[in-house]
Structure 1
């Protein structure tokens, strides 16, 4: 009996160590800098610079989550002079919280000293649940929107790494 207990304890310890190693975040060794925006990311992500529809880039997770790859993108638009931070937040929130969208979290945060609105929502689309994390910032004459989209079942698995990437964002001021 004690022999079986020892074997089970060793197996449990090995599994615990292996699961911890899998959840470690790789160092942020890759660097992006263009048009007043810079950030770091790691080699588990692939950068695609699109430039279309005001999207500066798409950063895709290399591992394919079923048929959808988790991604981070940055939207940059010229800010209307009459739009202040509160109006910008209200506009983004109204857009995000469309029909059948759950608001999971919202708060004001700072990204490298810049005031940002953070909102996390969840929505079912074509039978799949997706979680969307969005940061909205106004800096000088530009509105920046950083969005992370993931299948909901993979959100918790990715969020620590995504937060680490987003916290490296710097904007030309």
Structure 2
């Protein structure tokens, strides 16, 4: 296996694109590293085989002139056409964003709501059990009573508020449109 920092340098050297200072460093490395040297020899063999047996298409002599003539002959888009296309893209983007933002039933939104509900439910269950056990052990209330329900309700309200803030924040990120130049 070739040393990762030298792999691209070996390929560039074989293609003749590696500058001389880097080439000297690479030669020193190839003298000491057998895996990189084997990689370089294998790539050189492939390069020779491809150059010897490869069939590369040739571009005709008049290709450049024909291409330039075709480019000049094609009508350039007017400012009105560009402006209309820009409006179409903006409208398409805004329609897509409306569909994304309005879709609370999208799989990711449903998964997010399920996760929040699961966390809130587990928190309330654990909180209810802990507060009930503490109050029962202290002899203050039998079975937890109203205080446990009030604490659980407060936790539910706080979790609901936090999840609503998360949803509002996640939809605010997408309300800016794209910058079309």
Q: TM-score, normalised by structure 2?
A: 0.26
Structure (1/2) with the larger strand percentage: 1
* CA radius of gyration, larger in: 2
Structure (1/2) with the larger helix percentage: 2
